[in-house]
Amino acid sequence: MTDTNTLERTQRSATTTLEHWVRGAEWPGTSERTGDVYNPALGTVQKHVRFASTADVGTAVDVASEAWAGWRDASIAKRQGVLFAFRELLNARKGELAEILTKEHGKVLSDALGEIARGMEVVEFACGLGHLTKGAYSENVSTGIDVYTLRQPLGVVGIISPFNFPAMVPLWFFSIALAAGNAVILKPSEKDPTAANWMAALLKEAGLPDGVFNVVHGDKEAVDALLEHPDVRAISFVGSTPIAKYVYETATSHGKRVQALGGAKNHMLVLPDADLDLAADAAVNAGFGSAGERCMAISVVLAVDSVADAFVQKVSERMATLRTGDGMRGCDMGPLITSQHRDKVTSYLDIAGADGAAVVVDGRDVEIDGDPNGFWLGPTLIDKVPTSSAVYKDEIFGPVLSVVRVEGYEEGLGIINSSLYGNGTAIFTNDGGAARRFQREAQVGMIGINVPIPVPVAYHSFGGWKASLFGDAKAYGPHGFEFFTAEKAITSRWLDPSHGGLNLGFPQHD
Ligand code: NAD
Q: Is the CB of 219 under 6 A from ligand 1?
A: yes
Q: DSSP for 72-91, please give it.
A: TTS-HHHHHHHHHHHHHHHH
Closest CA to 186 of 224, 228, 223, 241: 223
**How far apart are alpha carbons 11 and 22 in whole angstroms?**
27
Q: Is the CB of 221 under 6 A from ligand 1?
A: no
Binned at pLDDT 50, 70 and 90, residue 4 comes out as very low
Q: Is the CB of 162 under 6 A from ligand 1?
A: yes
Q: Is the CB of 159 under 6 A from ligand 1?
A: no
Q: Are strands 137-142 and 145-153 parallel, antiparallel or unpaired?
A: antiparallel
**Which residues have CB under 8 Å from 50's CB, separation 6+?**
17, 18, 19, 20, 28, 29, 31, 33, 34, 217, 218
Does residue 232 have a pLDDT over 50? Answer: yes
Q: Is the CB of 220 under 6 A from ligand 1?
A: yes
Q: DSSP for 124-170, please give it.
A: HHHTTHHHHT---EEEEEETTEEEEEEEEE-SEEEEE--SS-TTHHH
For residue 425, the tally of other CB atoms under 10 A from its CB is 33
**How far apart are alpha carbons 236 and 173 in whole angstroms?**
7
Q: Is the CB of 290 under 6 A from ligand 1?
A: no
- Say how many Å lie between the CA of residue 396 and the centre of ligand 1: 14
pLDDT of residue 150: 97
Mean pLDDT of 202-206: 98
**How far apart are alpha carbons 308 and 318 in whole angstroms?**
15
Upper half-sphere CA count for residue 67 (Cβ side, 13 Å): 24
Angle between helices 109-126 and 94-104 (to 10 degrees): 130
Beta strands in 161-293 (DSSP E): 183-187, 213-215, 232-238, 257-261, 266-270
Does residue 510 have a pLDDT over 90? Answer: no
pLDDT of residue 135: 96
- Say how many Å lie between the CA of residue 132 and the centre of ligand 1: 29
- Say how many Å lie between the CA of residue 239 and the centre of ligand 1: 2
DSSP 8-state class, residue 292? G
pLDDT of residue 119: 98
Question: Where does 320-399 have alpha helices with state H?
Answer: 339-354, 390-393
Does residue 10 have a pLDDT over 70? Answer: no
Q: How does pLDDT run across 53-74, given as a tens digit for each residue? A: 999 999 999 999 999 999 999 9
**How far apart are alpha carbons 57 and 63 in whole angstroms?**
10
pLDDT of residue 500: 75
pLDDT of residue 14: 57
Does residue 6 have a pLDDT over 80? Answer: no
Question: Where does 206-275 have alpha helices with state H?
Answer: 220-228, 241-253
Binned at pLDDT 50, 70 and 90, residue 121 comes out as very high
Q: Residues with catalytic annotation? A: 295
Binned at pLDDT 50, 70 and 90, residue 2 comes out as very low
Q: Which of 240, 294, 395, 419 to mutate to test the pocket of ligand 1 (most atoms within 8 A of CB)?
A: 240
Q: What are phi and psi of 213, to 5 degrees?
A: -125, 120
Q: Atom 6 (ligand 1): residue with closest C-alpha?
A: 162
Supply angle C-alpha 456, 462, 468, rounded to 5. 130
Q: Which atom of ligand 1 is nearest to the CA of 264?
A: 34
Closest CA to 379 of 289, 499, 497: 289
Q: Is the CB of 240 under 6 A from ligand 1?
A: yes
Does residue 490 have a pLDDT over 90? Answer: yes
pLDDT of residue 459: 98
Q: Is the CB of 397 under 6 A from ligand 1?
A: yes
pLDDT of residue 182: 99
- Say how many Å lie between the CA of residue 408 and the centre of ligand 1: 35
- Sign for the pseudo-dihedral over CA of 195, 197, 202, 206: positive
Whole-structure pTM value: 0.96
**How far apart are alpha carbons 12 and 406 in whole angstroms?**
53
As a 3-state breakdown, the chain gives helix, strand, coil percent values, each rounded to 5, of 40, 25, 35
Q: Are strands 257-261 and 266-270 parallel, antiparallel or unpaired?
A: unpaired
For residue 128, the tally of other CB atoms under 10 A from its CB is 15
Q: Atom 26 (ligand 1): residue with closest C-alpha?
A: 162
Q: Atom 22 (ligand 1): residue with closest C-alpha?
A: 220
**How far apart are alpha carbons 142 and 293 in whole angstroms?**
56
Q: Is the CB of 238 under 6 A from ligand 1?
A: yes
Mean pLDDT of 18-46: 98
Q: How does pLDDT run across 78-116, given as a tens digit for each residue? A: 999 999 999 999 999 999 999 999 999 999 999 999 999
pLDDT of residue 292: 98
- Say how many Å lie between the CA of residue 161 and the centre of ligand 1: 7
- Say how many Å lie between the CA of residue 162 and the centre of ligand 1: 4
Binned at pLDDT 50, 70 and 90, residue 503 comes out as confident
Angle between helices 76-92 and 168-179 (to 10 degrees): 160
pLDDT of residue 329: 96
Q: Which helix (H) or strand (E) holds 104?
A: helix 94-104
Q: How does pLDDT run across 384-393, given as a tens digit for each residue? A: 999 999 999 9
